[in-house]
Chain A
Amino acid sequence: MNYQNLRSSLAWSASRELLHHPVSRSVYKPFERGDVEHGLRTLACSVTGSGIGCSSPLSVLFSQESIRLLLALPSTYWFWRVCCELHRTQQGDTGPIALVEVEAAADYLHQSFCSGHDLSLAPLEMTQAELASRVELGLLLVQYGVGERDQLRLNRLFCR
């Protein structure tokens, strides 16, 4: 296994996925590992040095605890957004990406997105402009329903 430059390569792949397969950061849209593994296959193959492991790229690149956390994110947008920030950690490219690195990336996004927002407020306690701003940023997510029966959900990435 060659993990050299894995974090920076992953950040590049994640940026490319965000660009080519745009998903709104404001929308709650759960996903499965198959929805993201296509974008990770080439990178996983370069780590293993062969086709071995390419059928399960997540398991090559991340620890099992990391995978559990990443697949619980509210959309592929937030999955790739966390991946974009993994290069910020100082863990070194010595193995699969550990839970502590994913948590550090999530903390960085928390600081970037939540500054100035009181996260204890419920939607009914906010002004419409405050609510709109949080949806636009992705702190609050819209889960689409039939017609106008949509729901607001907290982005669990920021509920830490």
Chain B
Amino acid sequence: MDALKMRSKLHDIAVQALLFDINILVNNYVRVQESSLSADIKRLAARYGVDNRGDANQSLPAGTALGQLFEPDVVEYLLSLPSYYWFWQVVLGATVPAADKQGNAAVLPRRIGMDEVVKAVDVLRRQYSGKYDLSLPLTALAPAQVGSRVAQGLLLVHRVDGAMVIVPNPIFASPDLSLLH
């Protein structure tokens, strides 16, 4: 499997997760854990793994699947995202749909790097910056502005021991994309 096909398959897995996993909510804070990711991504990683040594069926040690597909700094960033919804949105943006798979696999890095993720995050921000002033701090927001940002997942609700906390979505909270590096 070449780098382009891996990205195409990963894109399909992201689409499936976003469309059909009813537990993935746009505005609910959940700590992302590699062990909770679907078997599909683990199978893809096992097949594609850079340390595969020719055995496509060998199982990977726990916690290493993402490392076969993404550079280490990207793995760290993805696991810091505030929910599986936003994890898959970034993966979706950093990969390519099947319709675009005529690209040149030879020019792609074997693993998805931070450059591809930064572009995906930038696209996500631009999707929302037309409607929302992303520079406004939480304390400056009127009730309807809070509600609207929660509905879209720019702000997330984190329930901790019966208390509720608003968590700004880091995808939109930091104006400086270079901070992702």
Q: Which residues of A contact B (CB under 8 A)?
A: 18-20, 22, 24, 26-27, 123-124, 126, 128-133, 135-136, 140, 142, 144, 147-148, 150-152
Q: Cβ of B148 and Cβ of A142 under 8 Å apart?
A: yes
**For A20, what are the chain B residues with a Cβ–Cβ distance below 8 Å?**
19-20
Give the CA-CA distance A139 to B25 in the complex, in Å. Answer: 16
Least CB distance from B146 to A in Å reads 5
B contact residues, range? 20 to 34
Smallest CB-CB separation from A142: which chain B residue? B151
Residues of B83-135 contacting chain A, CB below 8 A: 131-133
Q: Is B10 an interface residue (CB 8 A)?
A: no
Least CB distance from A115 to B in Å reads 12
Q: Cβ of A136 and Cβ of B132 under 8 Å apart?
A: no
Chain B's interface: helix, strand, loop or mixed, by majority? mixed
Q: Which residues of B contact A (CB under 8 A)?
A: 19-20, 22, 25-28, 131-133, 138, 141, 143-148, 150-151, 155, 157, 159, 163-166
Query: Nearest 7 A-B pairs (CB), nearest first?
Result: A26-B151, A150-B148, A123-B143, A129-B164, A142-B151, A136-B157, A135-B147
Give the CA-CA distance A44 to B118 in the complex, in Å. Answer: 49
**For A129, what are the chain B residues with a Cβ–Cβ distance below 8 Å?**
157, 163-166
Please judge, given known A-B contacts A130-B164, A132-B157, whether A148 and B147 are in contact too, CB under 8 Å. no
23 A–B pairs (Cβ distance < 8 Å), ordered by A:
A18-B22, A19-B20, A22-B19, A24-B26, A24-B151, A123-B147, A126-B143, A128-B141, A128-B166, A129-B163, A132-B157, A132-B164, A135-B27, A136-B25, A136-B150, A136-B157, A140-B147, A142-B144, A142-B147, A142-B148, A142-B151, A150-B144, A152-B143
Smallest CB-CB separation from A130: which chain B residue? B164
**For B143, what are the chain A residues with a Cβ–Cβ distance below 8 Å?**
123-124, 126, 128, 131, 152
Smallest CB-CB separation from A22: which chain B residue? B19
**For A135, what are the chain B residues with a Cβ–Cβ distance below 8 Å?**
27, 146-147, 150-151
Least CB distance from B39 to A in Å reads 19
Q: Cβ of B150 and Cβ of A151 under 8 Å apart?
A: no
Please judge, given known A-B contacts A19-B22, A24-B26, A26-B27, whether A132 and B147 are in contact too, CB under 8 Å. yes
Q: Cβ of A132 and Cβ of B133 under 8 Å apart?
A: no
**For B28, what are the chain A residues with a Cβ–Cβ distance below 8 Å?**
136
**For A124, what are the chain B residues with a Cβ–Cβ distance below 8 Å?**
143
Q: Cβ of A152 and Cβ of B165 under 8 Å apart?
A: no
Least CB distance from B73 to A in Å reads 31
**For A27, what are the chain B residues with a Cβ–Cβ distance below 8 Å?**
151
Least CB distance from A147 to B in Å reads 6
**For A133, what are the chain B residues with a Cβ–Cβ distance below 8 Å?**
157, 159, 164
Q: Cβ of B145 and Cβ of A131 under 8 Å apart?
A: no
Least CB distance from A33 to B in Å reads 25
Least CB distance from A118 to B in Å reads 14
Q: Cβ of A132 and Cβ of B166 under 8 Å apart?
A: yes
**For A126, what are the chain B residues with a Cβ–Cβ distance below 8 Å?**
143
Q: Cβ of A150 and Cβ of B147 under 8 Å apart?
A: yes
Give the CA-CA distance A73 to B35 in the complex, in Å. Answer: 39
